[in-house]
Amino acid sequence: MTENMKPYVLQADEGIGSDSSLKATVASTGGHFTLIESDTDGGAPMHIHSREDEYFYVVEGTITVTCGDQVFEVGPRGFVFLPRNIPHAWDVIGQRATVLMMTVPARLDEFLAEFHAAASQEVKDKISQKYGIIWVRD
């Protein structure tokens, strides 16, 4: 895959295609790395990535992250590493946060696009299974 990759630069407010939040995707990195700039008021419930490690870099705002039995509060310029196969969740403290969400290898971009377009919880669960993401539900 790497033989077809080309270097690229994105300026502020630019992204891959028409989505300015997508900075590095499966297609742009040959499947090696995903980077999404998320300006959000919420996070994700407890889940497990079975195929990739996840990383957060907080640009603005503050988030709380639960990973296994540890809880972290992370503010601007803070970094979080979430190894695969460990249950984790995160949420915004306050009104909004800008978080750089990264995965190695890539595919978070594809998962989120399919997941957010799904019409039902049943379809969302099938998409999650396809991408090796397990939701931890009580």
* Percent of the chain scoring above 90 in pLDDT: 93
Residue 131 pLDDT exceeds 60: yes
Q: What's the number of domains the chain is made of?
A: 1
Least confident of 1-10, 19-28, 79-88: 1-10
Domain that holds residue 81: 2-135
Mean pLDDT of all residues in the chain?
95
Stretch 7-19: mean pLDDT, rounded?
Answer: 94
Of residues 96, 112, 82, 104, the one with CA closest to residue 21 = 112
Q: The domain spanning residue 44 has which CATH number?
A: 2.60.120.10
- Per residue in 48-95, pLDDT tens? 999 999 999 999 999 999 999 999 999 999 999 999 999 999 999 999
Query: Per-residue pLDDT for 1 more than 60?
Result: no
pLDDT score at 37: 98
Sign of the Cα torsion 27, 54, 124, 45 reads: negative
Report residue 123 as tokens: 């379809």
